[in-house]
Amino acid sequence: MRCITIIPASGTGSRFESKIPKQFYKIEGDEILIHTLKKFECVSEITEIIIATKNIFFKKIENLLKKHSFSKKYKIVQGGKRRQDSVYSALKACECNENDIILVHDAVRPYLTVKLIKKLIRNAKKYKAVIPVLNIDDTIKKIKNNFVENTIPRSDLKRAQTPQAFEFGILFNAFRAAYENNIYATDESSIVENYGYPVSIIEGEEANIKITKKENIREYI
Protein backbone atom coordinates (compact mmCIF):
# COMPACT_ATOMS: atom_id res chain seq x y z
CA MET A 1 0.00 0.00 0.00
CA ARG A 2 1.40 3.38 -1.04
CA CYS A 3 0.67 6.75 0.50
CA ILE A 4 0.67 9.88 -1.65
CA THR A 5 0.17 13.50 -0.61
CA ILE A 6 -1.52 16.03 -2.89
CA ILE A 7 -0.82 19.72 -2.28
CA PRO A 8 -3.08 22.13 -4.21
CA ALA A 9 -1.03 25.31 -4.61
CA SER A 10 -2.62 27.35 -7.40
CA GLY A 11 -4.09 30.12 -5.26
CA THR A 12 -3.12 33.77 -5.53
CA GLY A 13 -4.11 34.69 -1.97
CA SER A 14 -5.97 37.93 -2.66
CA ARG A 15 -6.85 38.40 1.03
CA PHE A 16 -3.21 38.03 2.02
CA GLU A 17 -2.34 41.47 0.61
CA SER A 18 1.03 40.52 -0.82
CA LYS A 19 2.67 41.02 -4.20
CA ILE A 20 3.48 37.31 -4.29
CA PRO A 21 1.12 34.33 -3.75
CA LYS A 22 1.03 33.48 -0.07
CA GLN A 23 2.45 29.96 -0.57
CA PHE A 24 5.71 31.67 -1.56
CA TYR A 25 5.73 34.19 1.29
CA LYS A 26 8.69 33.56 3.59
CA ILE A 27 8.50 32.74 7.30
CA GLU A 28 11.83 32.62 9.08
CA GLY A 29 13.69 32.35 5.79
CA ASP A 30 11.60 29.69 4.05
CA GLU A 31 8.47 29.83 1.92
CA ILE A 32 5.20 28.76 3.55
CA LEU A 33 4.97 25.94 0.99
CA ILE A 34 8.41 24.68 2.04
CA HIS A 35 7.44 24.69 5.73
CA THR A 36 4.41 22.60 4.77
CA LEU A 37 6.40 20.14 2.65
CA LYS A 38 8.96 19.65 5.42
CA LYS A 39 6.25 18.09 7.61
CA PHE A 40 5.40 15.47 4.99
CA GLU A 41 9.08 14.85 4.28
CA CYS A 42 9.34 13.59 7.87
CA VAL A 43 6.70 10.87 7.39
CA SER A 44 8.24 7.62 6.19
CA GLU A 45 4.91 6.18 5.02
CA ILE A 46 4.57 8.86 2.34
CA THR A 47 6.19 7.79 -0.92
CA GLU A 48 5.29 10.66 -3.24
CA ILE A 49 4.09 14.27 -3.11
CA ILE A 50 2.16 15.82 -6.00
CA ILE A 51 1.91 19.60 -6.18
CA ALA A 52 -0.84 21.07 -8.35
CA THR A 53 -0.09 24.65 -9.34
CA LYS A 54 -0.13 27.17 -12.17
CA ASN A 55 2.30 26.71 -15.05
CA ILE A 56 4.02 29.97 -14.20
CA PHE A 57 5.03 28.51 -10.81
CA PHE A 58 6.48 25.22 -12.09
CA LYS A 59 10.07 26.42 -12.39
CA LYS A 60 9.98 28.24 -9.07
CA ILE A 61 8.79 25.14 -7.23
CA GLU A 62 11.29 22.93 -9.04
CA ASN A 63 14.10 25.25 -7.92
CA LEU A 64 12.83 25.24 -4.33
CA LEU A 65 12.74 21.44 -4.26
CA LYS A 66 16.31 21.27 -5.55
CA LYS A 67 17.45 23.87 -3.03
CA HIS A 68 16.16 21.85 -0.10
CA SER A 69 17.23 18.43 -1.46
CA PHE A 70 14.00 16.76 -0.41
CA SER A 71 14.13 12.96 -0.42
CA LYS A 72 10.58 12.12 -1.52
CA LYS A 73 9.49 11.59 -5.09
CA TYR A 74 7.86 14.80 -6.35
CA LYS A 75 5.58 15.54 -9.26
CA ILE A 76 4.31 18.96 -10.32
CA VAL A 77 1.07 19.09 -12.32
CA GLN A 78 -1.14 21.76 -13.81
CA GLY A 79 -3.58 23.16 -11.27
CA GLY A 80 -7.03 24.49 -12.03
CA LYS A 81 -9.27 27.48 -11.45
CA ARG A 82 -10.79 25.94 -8.33
CA ARG A 83 -9.22 23.87 -5.58
CA GLN A 84 -11.33 20.92 -6.72
CA ASP A 85 -9.89 21.18 -10.23
CA SER A 86 -6.34 21.19 -8.90
CA VAL A 87 -6.92 18.12 -6.74
CA TYR A 88 -8.58 16.25 -9.60
CA SER A 89 -5.64 17.07 -11.87
CA ALA A 90 -3.30 15.58 -9.26
CA LEU A 91 -5.50 12.51 -8.81
CA LYS A 92 -5.37 11.82 -12.53
CA ALA A 93 -1.58 11.99 -12.34
CA CYS A 94 -1.43 9.37 -9.58
CA GLU A 95 -0.21 5.91 -10.47
CA CYS A 96 -2.20 4.20 -7.75
CA ASN A 97 -3.97 1.05 -6.74
CA GLU A 98 -7.52 1.31 -5.47
CA ASN A 99 -6.52 0.91 -1.82
CA ASP A 100 -3.54 3.28 -1.82
CA ILE A 101 -3.94 6.20 0.58
CA ILE A 102 -4.23 9.78 -0.65
CA LEU A 103 -3.77 12.74 1.67
CA VAL A 104 -4.85 16.19 0.47
CA HIS A 105 -3.46 19.17 2.33
CA ASP A 106 -3.58 22.93 1.89
CA ALA A 107 -0.25 24.43 0.80
CA VAL A 108 -0.70 27.20 3.36
CA ARG A 109 -1.33 25.07 6.46
CA PRO A 110 2.29 24.75 7.64
CA TYR A 111 1.63 24.34 11.35
CA LEU A 112 0.35 20.76 11.40
CA THR A 113 2.35 18.08 13.20
CA VAL A 114 3.85 14.84 11.95
CA LYS A 115 1.82 13.14 14.67
CA LEU A 116 -1.43 14.27 13.00
CA ILE A 117 -0.29 13.04 9.58
CA LYS A 118 0.62 9.62 10.93
CA LYS A 119 -2.67 9.33 12.82
CA LEU A 120 -4.62 10.16 9.66
CA ILE A 121 -2.77 7.50 7.69
CA ARG A 122 -3.46 4.85 10.36
CA ASN A 123 -7.14 5.71 10.44
CA ALA A 124 -7.44 5.89 6.66
CA LYS A 125 -6.14 2.33 6.41
CA LYS A 126 -8.87 1.27 8.81
CA TYR A 127 -11.84 3.47 7.82
CA LYS A 128 -10.88 4.40 4.21
CA ALA A 129 -11.99 8.03 4.62
CA VAL A 130 -11.02 10.28 7.53
CA ILE A 131 -10.67 13.99 8.28
CA PRO A 132 -9.44 16.01 11.28
CA VAL A 133 -12.04 18.21 12.97
CA LEU A 134 -12.30 20.63 15.89
CA ASN A 135 -15.16 21.59 18.16
CA ILE A 136 -16.94 24.91 17.68
CA ASP A 137 -16.78 26.96 20.86
CA ASP A 138 -18.72 30.02 19.73
CA THR A 139 -22.50 30.23 19.54
CA ILE A 140 -23.60 29.90 15.91
CA LYS A 141 -26.25 32.20 14.47
CA LYS A 142 -28.05 31.96 11.14
CA ILE A 143 -28.50 35.45 9.69
CA LYS A 144 -31.02 36.76 7.17
CA ASN A 145 -31.12 40.38 5.98
CA ASN A 146 -28.77 41.45 8.81
CA PHE A 147 -31.01 39.96 11.51
CA VAL A 148 -30.67 36.73 13.48
CA GLU A 149 -33.00 34.12 12.04
CA ASN A 150 -32.19 31.43 14.57
CA THR A 151 -29.45 29.91 16.74
CA ILE A 152 -27.95 26.67 15.46
CA PRO A 153 -27.12 24.00 18.07
CA ARG A 154 -23.37 23.44 17.96
CA SER A 155 -23.17 20.03 19.63
CA ASP A 156 -23.13 18.24 16.27
CA LEU A 157 -21.10 20.86 14.39
CA LYS A 158 -17.36 20.63 13.76
CA ARG A 159 -14.67 22.65 11.97
CA ALA A 160 -12.98 20.59 9.26
CA GLN A 161 -9.24 20.79 8.61
CA THR A 162 -6.72 19.20 6.29
CA PRO A 163 -4.97 16.86 5.61
CA GLN A 164 -7.95 14.78 4.58
CA ALA A 165 -7.19 11.13 3.85
CA PHE A 166 -8.95 8.62 1.61
CA GLU A 167 -8.43 5.41 -0.29
CA PHE A 168 -7.57 6.36 -3.86
CA GLY A 169 -10.44 4.41 -5.40
CA ILE A 170 -13.05 6.11 -3.22
CA LEU A 171 -11.67 9.60 -3.76
CA PHE A 172 -11.12 9.29 -7.51
CA ASN A 173 -14.56 7.79 -8.14
CA ALA A 174 -16.18 10.45 -5.97
CA PHE A 175 -14.45 13.22 -7.92
CA ARG A 176 -15.42 11.69 -11.24
CA ALA A 177 -19.06 11.47 -10.11
CA ALA A 178 -18.95 15.07 -8.91
CA TYR A 179 -17.89 16.33 -12.32
CA GLU A 180 -20.47 14.19 -14.07
CA ASN A 181 -23.16 15.81 -11.89
CA ASN A 182 -21.75 19.36 -11.89
CA ILE A 183 -21.05 19.29 -8.17
CA TYR A 184 -18.41 21.58 -6.71
CA ALA A 185 -17.21 21.67 -3.12
CA THR A 186 -14.58 23.38 -0.99
CA ASP A 187 -13.08 20.21 0.48
CA GLU A 188 -12.59 16.58 -0.49
CA SER A 189 -14.78 15.24 2.30
CA SER A 190 -17.82 17.02 0.85
CA ILE A 191 -17.26 15.29 -2.47
CA VAL A 192 -16.86 11.87 -0.84
CA GLU A 193 -19.93 12.48 1.34
CA ASN A 194 -21.97 13.34 -1.75
CA TYR A 195 -20.73 10.11 -3.33
CA GLY A 196 -22.41 8.29 -0.44
CA TYR A 197 -19.33 7.08 1.42
CA PRO A 198 -19.10 7.57 5.21
CA VAL A 199 -16.28 9.82 6.38
CA SER A 200 -14.85 9.23 9.85
CA ILE A 201 -13.23 11.88 12.02
CA ILE A 202 -10.27 12.33 14.34
CA GLU A 203 -9.41 15.27 16.56
CA GLY A 204 -7.60 18.04 14.69
CA GLU A 205 -5.07 20.54 15.99
CA GLU A 206 -5.82 24.11 17.06
CA ALA A 207 -2.53 25.34 15.62
CA ASN A 208 -3.24 23.75 12.23
CA ILE A 209 -4.71 26.91 10.75
CA LYS A 210 -4.94 27.87 7.11
CA ILE A 211 -3.00 31.08 6.58
CA THR A 212 -5.31 33.58 4.92
CA LYS A 213 -3.95 36.84 6.34
CA LYS A 214 -0.55 37.96 7.57
CA GLU A 215 -1.96 38.23 11.10
CA ASN A 216 -2.18 34.42 11.14
CA ILE A 217 1.59 34.22 10.77
CA ARG A 218 2.33 36.63 13.57
CA GLU A 219 0.05 34.79 15.94
CA TYR A 220 1.68 31.38 15.51
CA ILE A 221 5.39 32.06 14.96
Total tally of structural domains belonging to the chain: 1
Q: Which of 18-22, 40-44, 76-80, 151-155 has the lowest mean pLDDT?
A: 18-22
How high is the pLDDT of residue 17?
Answer: 62
Q: Which pLDDT tens digit goes with each residue over 152-191?
A: 999 889 999 999 999 999 999 999 999 999 999 999 999 9
pTM equals 0.94
Q: Which pLDDT tens digit goes with each residue over 74-127?
A: 999 999 999 999 999 999 999 999 999 999 999 999 999 999 999 999 999 999
For residue 108, what is the domain's CATH number? 3.90.550.10
Between CA 66 and CA 23 the distance in angstroms is 17
Residue 219 has pLDDT above 60, yes or no: no
Rounded average pLDDT over 20-39: 94
Residue ranges making up the domain that contains 149:
3-220
Q: What angle do CA 77, 197, 53 make, to 5 degrees?
A: 15
